[in-house]
Each structure stands twice: as structure tokens, then as C-alpha cells.
Amino acid sequence: MIDNPYYSPEVHKDFTLVSIGRLELEEGGVIPDCSLAVRTWGTLNAAKDNAILIPTWYSGTHQIWADAYVGPGHALDPEKYFIVCVNQIGNGLSTSPHNATDPSVSMSRFPHVRIGDDVVAQERLLREHFGIDRLALVVGGSMGAQQTYEWAVRFPDKVLRAAPIAGTARNTPHDFLFTEALNEQIWSDPGWNGGEYASHEEVHDGLVRHAHIWAIMGFSTEFWKQERWAALGFTSKEAFLGDFLEPYFTAMDPNDLLAMAWKWQRGDVSRHTGGDLAAALGRITAAMFVMPISEDMFFPVRDCAAEQSLVPGSELRVVEDVSGHLGLFAIDSQFIPQIDRHLGELLAIPR
């Protein structure tokens, strides 16, 4: 266990750690005492039928949802819904390599966790801690979208509506290779030391290179061509890279990033059906809006549309944003209004 101030309550506000106990993992490993970092908004009604679940994305926490997506006037309105954001295992707030107190699972010994393990843990948390058996909506972006698909396939009777944003049900070979390139920037830093560094700062150079790969693929070619960074107050693309993207990633724990990347690469709901993606997505009974971002180079519209066509009764709702995948951070002023419109229409569908 090592200290990293980035993962403190001062940076990521208003969350509670909830232990769900021993979690046995799909790959055969075990987390002896799995704690999930949970942020809630609103009040669970007496019928317990107004609950919305938000799983988090790679590198992200509940904080971006608090800052941009949830609040009065939004579709995710705490005056109407009880909203639960569960930080994924390995994200630095929930049980993760850098904060695990049990030496058997700390740092380089952290076991492989799959998307399915996150969803099993979340289902246990909701049922045992809150008494929630059905969800009005599951919504998540990127890796949160992978978890949204997993929820809808694994627990179809528990999910009334689902909105995977900028993510796929089965990761593509190209996306696997891209994520491997992200990982290699960390592995190639001598300070990485096989995952047994004393501080994330020892892997600074690798994390800088990691951030540079995100600059290339996380933002679209149009974002850079149109100099959209200027609207965010930066004077040059170099300033945007050096003052925003690099500090964002160099504050994080490398083992945590790698733990999330491993499951991102292997996200695949067809594991439930012997590799048959159509059969897996055919299990979904939720009302579903599949919501790719128009300029996303990780999860292109065509990949999301191909999967959406396999989900009974679903709709494709493309979110127009030249920012690309990292448009999820609500960089463009028109991003959240589109999300609110689509989610509002989804939530209005009777179930």
C-alpha cells in the first residue's frame, strides 16, 4: 500500500467506502475484502423503483458525474431519482493495487479483474446495502458502457433501461492493441520496476508518454484541427497537453491504470454465450439507447451500430461532438444537453 494524495476525499468528494466482503473473481483470483467507493444523490423511494446506477470509466471516478451530469434540471435528477455511482474496482478509490491493505493483493500482486467481476460486486452492493433489486436505468461511458452492457446481459430482469455511452459490448482487436500501447508506456519506464515502485512519481516519464497517446487517440483529428483547446482557456496545443493532459495522468497510480486497462481490453458479454455475441445481446430486455460519440476513435459509431442492431428494440442515438472519446468530460457546451435529451427520452419509456 502506498500513499497517493490524488485519491483523497479532498480531490474526489462525498464518497463512502462500503465493504462487500470476499469477492471471488472470474479468473480464479480473490479479493479478500473488497471495498467499493460509492457516491449517491437523491432519495430511494418506498417502492425502491427509482434507482439509477452509474459505473465509472477508465481513470475516471464519480467526480466527473457530479461535476457535469447529475443535478436538478438534468435527466439524472436527484429530485426524482436515487442515483448511485460505484467506482470500479482498481480505479484508485475502490479496492485497487495501490491502496489494498492485504499484501496478498497489493501492487503487482493484484489479481486480474474482469468487467463481470465489477458488475457482480455492484449487484451485491445494491442488493445487500441498499435493498435494490431492480434499476430504472444503468448508464455509463466508455468502460462504464462495457459495464452497462454486462449488467443488461447478465441481469436482464434487474435492468429496465440501459444507456451505454461511447463503449462496446465486445472490445475490438484494434481497441485491444491501442490499450496495449497505453500500457507499454508504463511498462517501459525503468521506474515501473515490475509494479513494485515506492511512489507513482517514480513512473512519471511513462505516465507522461501515456498521456501523449491519449492526446493522439482520445481527442479527434477535428478537435486538434479546429483548435478546440482554445475554448478551454489554453493558448496552444502544447499548453493544453502540458497543463491539462499530462498533469491529469501523472497524478495517478500506474498499477491502478493497468488493472483497469486489462479488463477494458477483455470486455466481452459474449463470454456468457460461448462467444456468440448475437445470442448474448439477444438476452437484453431493457429499453436501450446505444449512444456513441460521432468522432470517437476508440469506439467508432460503426462498431456501436453493429452491436445495437443485435439488441431487441434498441435505438442508436449518436452524440455529435468533434472532441472524440474524451468528449465524455463534457468539454463542448453542447455535449451534456444531448445526453440529457437522450436520457430523458429513455427514462420516459414506460417499463
**Catalytically active residues, by annotation:** 142, 296, 325
Sign of CA dihedral 242, 243, 248, 250: positive
Mutual orientation of helices 254-265 and 173-187 as an angle, nearest 10°?
Answer: 160
Tell me how far apart the 2 most distant CA atoms of the chain are, in Å: 56
Taking the C-alpha atoms of residue 44 and residue 78, their distance in angstroms, rounded to an integer, is: 10
Give Cα separations from 131 to 24, 48, 71, 162 (angstroms): 22, 8, 23, 20
Q: Are 83 and 54 in contact (CB under 8 A)?
A: yes
The closest alpha carbon to 113, from 208, 234, 22, 26, belongs to 26
- CB–CB of 284/314 below 8 Å? yes
The length of the chain is 351
In contact, 242 and 250? CB cutoff 8 Å: no
d(CA 3, CA 253): 10
Q: Which amino acid is at 141?
A: G
DSSP annotation of 24: E
Q: Report phi then psi at 255, rounded to 5.
A: -60, -40
How many Å apart are CA 49 and CA 80, to the nearest integer? 11
Cell numbers given for 301: 459509431
Q: Determine the Cα–Cα distance for residues 90 and 147; give it in Å rounded to an integer.
A: 14
